[in-house]
Structure 1
Amino acid sequence: MGIFDFLGGSGPEKALKLKSKVTQKYGDPSTRQKALQQLGEMQFPEAVSVLLHRYTITVEPLTTDADEKEHVFELIKSFGKDAIPPVTEFLRKNEQATSWALRILEALLPEAEVVTLVVDALQHLGSQYMRDPEKKVVLLHYVTGKQDARIAPAVLPHLDDMADEVKIAALKALGPQKHEPAREPILHLLTAPDTARRVQVAALEALQESGFGVQGYREKVDAVLADPYYVDGGGLVKRRG
């Protein structure tokens, strides 16, 4: 009799039954750690789905938390291509642990395929309200600096997000893209009366980096300029120094 027969089977049902132990924050940590190891030895996607839930909790001490999460990363990575569908589903449906999901996908897929998944996630989220903006910010940070024609259109709607952190992350992603349809939305955000100062500074940085002119908004832009940024004679935002 194998160990999984003794424990009640090794199929998907067994994996799902271990979820409560994987997400157990208190009590003997060996119970949680044993469940993680058991899941890592299973050979079906449900095991990966349950392992991913370890990323949705934080335990004390933090050194144990970090060690367990790294262990889960290695366990999931060992599933290879079989881990991709459940990790992709987790990325799409869960607000937590986005950075871990991306790290796993980066280990299993070429960058272009990860960008595809992130673009899809950004398009799905749009500017819809999220109580915690962390997921959007992590996704936007991931595409920042990457050159792909699909990125800018997926990022643009996030300029209208309710969270300033998301707006700033979107601006940082858009600047290097030099995406012409983003010019007026950035200028509108910069000059809107209710835009926070730190968002305005990020907008000025995006305009300077993209090389967009301020035509049609010159007076409004002059009214909100902040050092070290200025508008030159050609209507371009420049940075001193």
Structure 2
Amino acid sequence: MKALITINNLEFAWPGQAPLLQIPHFELAKGESVFIKGPSGSGKSTLLGLLAGIQVANQGQLQFLGRDLSRLSARARDQVRADHLGYIFQQFNLLPFLSVIENVCSALIFSRHKRARLTQAPTAEAARLLHELQLAPELWQQPVHKLSIGQQQRVAAARALMGSPELIIADEPTSALDADSRSAFMDLLFKECRRQGSSLIFVSHDPTLEPLFERVLSLSSINKSSLNKASLNKAALNKSALNEAPLC
């Protein structure tokens, strides 16, 4: 399958800090679903920010749909994100005083590309997604700040799916859902991704979801920085053990 995303020799560090990510190579195929796992602080959310063009790598290449994001202006990266990506944020990033329907349709405001891909009116498509996510119709005209955390999470998912983006990024999207809602959410997410041919990158600490994905990836397996840290920590432990060993 043709790659949607290709990473080569990527390096990212926050100012004044050692590299957090050093990824020699990674590819995501069109239509592929990947589950990424790793401990807190390992760089998972930073990697998602790089894939979305929110952050830019210090070195290396990150190609999305054949365009190197690090060579684009901030405005151009914003447009790529608006046209080709749906993002389910950990903190939702909903507009609190807009209604549920208005929040879902907000995904189309800055993207003619997504609007052109709709097969029905925006409000009808928003209603379809909300219905699939089992959000009651009587809530659709409510401001989202009046919804529960779990309900807001489903609104965020519907917004991300609007306009059939080529890539869906989901950062811990099921953390506030009960078992039944989580199952409905995952069913819709995979069904919509298959229907529109979207790739899916999904970050979670929930190992029960791993079997649903075509590929399960530990960030440490592709992040040279974490491998180096692990080697240094092991060397430090060995040195400590040697120093503490009794003399014969």
Range class of TM-score, shorter chain = under 0.3
Structure number having the greater strand percentage: 2
TM-score of the superposition, structure 1-length normalised?
Answer: 0.25
Asked which structure has the greater RCO (Cα within 8 Å, sep 6+), the reply is 2
